[in-house]
Structure 1
Amino acid sequence: MKKTNIKRFFVLFCVLACVFSMTACTNTISSDSAKTSLKDMKVNQYASDMVQWAEDMLVYLDQTSDAQIKADGEAAKTLSYVNGKVYVVNMQGMNDKTIEFYNSWVKTREDLGALKSIDKEDVRVSDETGTLCTIAINATYETRTCAFELVIDDDFNLDSGAINPTYTTGEKMEKAVLNTVLGMGTVFIVLIFISYIISLLQHVNKIGAKKQTAEAPQQTAPAPVVEEPEDEEEDDCELVAVITAAIAASEGTAADGLVVRSIRKVGRQNNWK
């Protein structure tokens, strides 16, 4: 009887564990689905307003000078402030991402020319956390077409903006060749400069050798002048000692009481006299 109860308890425990596991999985899936559904609802509700904001933004950038765009960015003037319309995007005010988008446009507008038409708009719901959707717009300009990608975050602020002009294969090859030439030219210029510096080092060695040659005689020339008086003084001392000893022997006195004050050479004829 006890074994039967233990088996029943074990089976009941396993069933309860499976139920709780399925409940946890169901909660996770429903939570993710709720987030996706919320994004879909927001995009469906505000898609037209976001597309209108993107189109008006392209028109504003095309019809406004670079200086005015810079001034509006520094003054934190949103598109709503400039044209008086109300948009759901950037309702909280100008942000850094919008200013970055302005700067990218100023660098690119010379390659595009004037705006001719806006051809296609598409709003795609984002799968990334923190971003709501991506507005893709294809526009035609005087010189070429251009694709814009504007990413909107969950708070309806511009998260990032990309400007992708369409270049032909020939233009891409031309840019690639130009970049290669500039890179190789820079390397060769640096190598030539290094070679020139190395060639100058030879002249430095020659100048150093000339200085050493010029200084060598000045160091050895004074040596004989200093040594000659020392030899003469040593000879005089020896001569004084000999003369003192000779006089003391001839006089029969001690050498300590004799003082030689000067020595003078006398000719041989005077000595014989």
Structure 2
Amino acid sequence: MKKKIALILSLCLMVLCMAACGEDPTKVDYNGYSYDELKQEVQGMAEALTAMSDEEIEQYKKIEDEQYAMLANVATRWSDSIEDVGEYRELGEFTITKSGKTLTCEQEIVFEERSVILTYVFTYYNMQLDDITVDPVQTLGEKMANAGLNTLMGMGVVFTVLILISLIIYCFKIFPYLEQKRKAKKSAIVQPTEEIVTESVPVAMQDDLELVAVIAAAIAASTGTSTDDFVVRSIKRRF
């Protein structure tokens, strides 16, 4: 029983999807706007752009009023997009795409060398115009070249990060070696000092014996006795 219900639900979903996919976009109501109204608006802008001279484009690009900022932006994008596209031919295909809260209208403008896409982006719930873009259509070779360049850049970034990680790990191996080397150098500096101190002791004792002999001889000479008759027990130095 459960399998039959699941099968029926699946068939219903398939029918709904097929109905949605087969819906004619020219008969859809786009939140109060018809297909023809949107097409007329976008194509009107496309015809105005193709009819503008270079001097008019430059004038629009210099507009600083915030109210017409979008128009100045469109003129700038149009000027950048029509470089090396050749002569204007005709208006191409017009398409409308709804994705979530965004409605996108695209108009193809055919030139001699390549086409240009004029795009209107609306917020669907109030049909407010958010942006107008103009982009040249890339050839298959250009798309492949860009994809290859992006791939190389991505691989380059990955390998660079891996090299940096390897260097950091290698540095952790060097730190103990440097610490041992520092300790060995410190012990090598301390050791000769101890040797010098131990060697200086016999020299001091020898000097004391000579001093005792000199003092004993002086006392014996002054008293007229022999050095065998007295013993020097201690010597106090005065500086």
**TM-score of the pair, normalised by structure 2:** 0.47
What TM-score do the two structures reach when normalised by structure 1?
Answer: 0.43
